[in-house]
């Protein structure tokens, strides 16, 4: 494939890819506050990088086209802080449905959502299920930290903070590796008030009004993050995501 980007092709080329059984990969992210030290585009920067690199690897063996990153997500729980742009959950459900319906109209029969923001996850899964019920297509969906969980554990990612957390040591390390020029390192503190029920091991959902993002809008201190660690985590994510995309596309192809 000469170019993995859906948006770099003409309408006729996209029709040809769809007719040939190419899968469409849809990256989902957010634009929202990430504490006093990270840019509001953090989730989108991370998501675009890991999905692009994974799709590039897998497309050597399996035909894939990656749509533009959808950089506004369901982030209402961050609206109490400045810098957040959000769709309410019902709007986001409708938007993802419309995106999927559009790709089905384009002729795609394999749709793969890859998520980079926690607030999108449940809605993404619901839409993937709904589309597979409504249309004779394959769908799949996952968040990057879910498919790379074991690899990140092996890379000792939890040594720097919660994984994925929010604007803590983990995401800060990733941004150090991707766009260190956007980091406000003078705003990083050596300690942070933790929210006790985050990662508490209690099954299901538990949350409190005004505290869904962690104290002061982020989950943990970023003082242990380094660029070197960030590069290791990105490599673990890209490798795991590549493996997952390969497994998914192979399963879809075998089931045709």
200 lies in a domain?
Answer: no
Question: In this structure, are residues 172 and 181 in contact, taking their beta carbons and an 8 Å threshold?
Answer: no
201 lies in a domain?
Answer: no
Residues 28-65: tens digit of each pLDDT: 999 999 999 999 999 999 999 999 999 999 998 999 99
Quick one: how far is CA 149 from the chain centroid?
Answer: 13
202 lies in a domain?
Answer: no
Which parts of 15-146 are beta strand (E)? 23-28, 64-66, 110-115, 138-143
Q: What are phi and psi of 85, to 5 degrees?
A: -115, 130
For residue 179, name the pLDDT band (cuts at 50, 70, 90). Answer: very high
134 lies in a domain?
Answer: yes
Please give the pLDDT value at position 210.
76
Residue 251 CB-half CA count within 13 A: 12
204 lies in a domain?
Answer: no
Burial group, residue 90, by CB count within 10 angstroms (0-12, 13-18, 19+):
exposed
Q: How large a percentage of the chain has pLDDT more than 70?
A: 97
Q: Count structural domains, the chain.
A: 1
What would the two tokens of residue 83 be? 């810098």
Residues 183-205: tens digit of each pLDDT: 999 999 998 888 776 766 778 87
Please give the pLDDT value at position 41.
98
- Of 130, 132, 137, 124, nearest in space to 47 by CA: 124
199 lies in a domain?
Answer: no
- Of 133, 130, 157, 160, nearest in space to 145 by CA: 157
Beta partners for 73? 86
203 lies in a domain?
Answer: no
Residue 10 has pLDDT above 80, yes or no: yes
Domain range enclosing 96 = 6-194+209-250
Please state the rounded mean pLDDT for residues 176-186: 97
Domain containing 169 — which CATH number? 3.40.50.10310
51 lies in a domain?
Answer: yes
Which parts of 79-225 are beta strand (E)? 110-115, 138-143
């Amino acid at each position: 494939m000469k170019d993995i980007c859906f948006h770099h092709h003409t309408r006729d080329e996209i029709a040809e890819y769809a007719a040939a059984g190419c899968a469409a990969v849809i990256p989902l992210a957010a634009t929202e506050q990430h504490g006093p030290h990270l840019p509001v585009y953090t989730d989108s920067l991370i998501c675009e990088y890991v999905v692009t690199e994974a799709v590039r690897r897998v497309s050597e063996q399996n035909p894939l086209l990656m749509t533009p990153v959808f950089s506004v997500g369901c982030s209402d729980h961050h609206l109490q802080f400045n810098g957040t742009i959000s769709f309410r959950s019902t709007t986001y459900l409708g938007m993802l449905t419309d995106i999927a319906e559009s790709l089905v109209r384009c002729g795609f029969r394999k749709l793969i959502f890859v998520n980079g923001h926690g607030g999108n996850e449940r809605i993404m899964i619901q839409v993937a299920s709904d589309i597979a019920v409504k249309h004779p297509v394959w769908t799949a969906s996952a968040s990057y930290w879910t498919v790379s969980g074991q690899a990140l554990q092996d890379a000792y990612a939890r040594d720097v903070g919660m994984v994925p957390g929010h604007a803590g040591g983990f995401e800060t390390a990733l941004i150090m590796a991707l766009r260190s020029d956007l980091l406000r390192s003078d705003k990083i503190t050596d300690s942070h008030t933790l929210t006790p029920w985050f990662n508490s091991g209690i099954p299901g959902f538990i949350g409190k009004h005004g505290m869904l993002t962690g104290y002061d809008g982020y989950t943990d201190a970023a003082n242990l993050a380094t660029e070197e660690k960030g590069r290791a985590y990105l490599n673990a994510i890209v490798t795991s995501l590549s493996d997952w995309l390969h497994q998914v596309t192979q399963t879809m192809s075998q089931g045709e």
